[in-house]
Amino acid sequence: MNLWASVQVALIALRVNAMRSALAMLGVIIGVASVIVLVSISEGTKAAVEAQISRFGTNLLIVRPGSSIFGGRRGGAGSATPMNDSDALAIRDEISGVSGVSGEVSTGASVIAGNVNWPTRIQGVNAEFFDVRDWILDEGRLFDEDEDSASRRLAVVGQTIVAEVFDGASPVGQTLRVGGVPFEVIGTVEGKGQTSFGSDQDDIVFAPLSTVRSRLGASRTPTVRGAVSTIYVDVGPGERIDNVILDIQDLLRLRRGIEPGADDDFSVASLAEFIRARNETESQLGLLLAVGAAIVLLVGGIGIMNIMLVSVTERTREIGLRLAIGARPGDIRNQFLIESVILCLIGGVIGLGVGISGTLIYAEVGQLEIAVNPLIILLAIGASVLVGIFFGLYPAHRASKLNPIEALRFE
């Protein structure tokens, strides 16, 4: 008996009990749909994280002071002696594999241009900062090392400042009063959008580090000359990040006079790892949900098996007749197996539709960029066929083992 004939026989049988077939499919539909939604969302999140990492720069290291300890009382993150300008210079000059270094200090201040007053964040940075943090010049120019050391009152502004303070017009050459101090705007940088934490990265004014420290009083510390709150280090392409981290740690321990065996009072963090770690919990949650979806699929399969067993019992006489007119046990087995696979396949296709729509709705509502991977279609179809075979095998086997005489007498 050929496959097409078996498929036709199976379709007739399914149509005869349309309601029951639909209910039996429901488990598979829900299972397949949830697998698709969860896998798509989890993949979309992963892609978003990777995009975020590459936007931040995967080669970025962040050096910050750690916790101070005074007589056993720990001061909390950042309370240890700040880093300073010479730490940054030392890292740049003495560590191999480093392609750029910039210190950073920051403070909040209101900026005024014309009659607009806008509270924002002022970041004092070295000239290399723009390369290190991948800020791309949009208009005008950036300041150089000499202008930084000379504490020139120059400003490079983000796109939010352009929009809010200068009303979208070019600010280059304009004067911007920052906390009462006039700065000349020399350039703008391209927008970066929001961070994953929701803060606007473009709502920012960059100025030479020494200017921000001396004029605006950021990170002014009586005990440390030239203090910076953070040092950003750009590791050159192809360099081993972990080696560079170890070298910086050794250098800073030496410079900060930390005795061997004592803990570091600073941290050298890789941003990529930080973001990955934060998202690890999310992907584990995704995995858990995927397992849940697989269980739904399993329960759906059990539903299929149940319905197939009912169907075999109900059609015992039919099976007996088929055997009497020349069906081989294998024909009977295939007939029920095909029926089960078709049941699951239809469920899988419907589930695919529901799952894709669900994913698209989720993406729309959540404003996320989620692409449904074409592989997922294969996965869904494959999973439904497997469920159909796996859970159809036992009922089909039972049907094929019926004794024709007893089957024909079955009431």
Footprint of other proteins on this chain (CB under 8 A)? 1-2, 5, 12, 16, 317-318, 320-329, 331, 404-405, 408
The minimum distance between CB 350 and other proteins, in angstroms, equals 24
Residue among 123 and 334 whose Cβ is closer to other proteins? 334
Residue among 43 and 318 whose Cβ is closer to other proteins? 318
The minimum distance between CB 349 and other proteins, in angstroms, equals 24
N- to C-terminal Cα distance for the chain? 27
Residue among 62 and 408 whose Cβ is closer to other proteins? 408
How many Cβ atoms from other residues are within 10 Å of residue 400's Cβ?
21
Residue among 353 and 404 whose Cβ is closer to other proteins? 404
The minimum distance between CB 323 and other proteins, in angstroms, equals 7
The minimum distance between CB 339 and other proteins, in angstroms, equals 14
The minimum distance between CB 395 and other proteins, in angstroms, equals 19
Residue among 323 and 350 whose Cβ is closer to other proteins? 323
**Widest Cα–Cα separation across the chain:** 105
Contacts by 325-328 with C-beta closer than 8 Å and gap 24+? 327/1
Write out the two tokens for 297.
């699929």
Could you tell me which of 219, 57, 43, 51 has the C-alpha nearest to residue 133?
Answer: 57
Residue among 179 and 329 whose Cβ is closer to other proteins? 329
Helices (H), ranges, 128-204: 129-132, 145-149, 159-164
Measured CA to CA, the distance from residue 244 to residue 160 in angstroms comes to 35
The minimum distance between CB 390 and other proteins, in angstroms, equals 26
Could you tell me which of 308, 320, 297 has the C-alpha nearest to residue 394?
Answer: 308
The minimum distance between CB 322 and other proteins, in angstroms, equals 7
Residue 99 Cα distances to 83, 234, 269, 284, angstroms = 19, 6, 17, 35
Residue among 240 and 317 whose Cβ is closer to other proteins? 317
The minimum distance between CB 398 and other proteins, in angstroms, equals 18
Helices (H), ranges, 97-225: 129-132, 145-149, 159-164, 209-216
Residue among 39 and 396 whose Cβ is closer to other proteins? 396
CA dihedral 78, 94, 102, 188 (to 10 degrees): -170
Question: Are the CB atoms for 137 and 130 separated by under 8 Å?
Answer: yes
Amino acid at 26: L
Phi and psi angles of residue 304, each rounded to the nearest 5 degrees, phi first? -60, -45
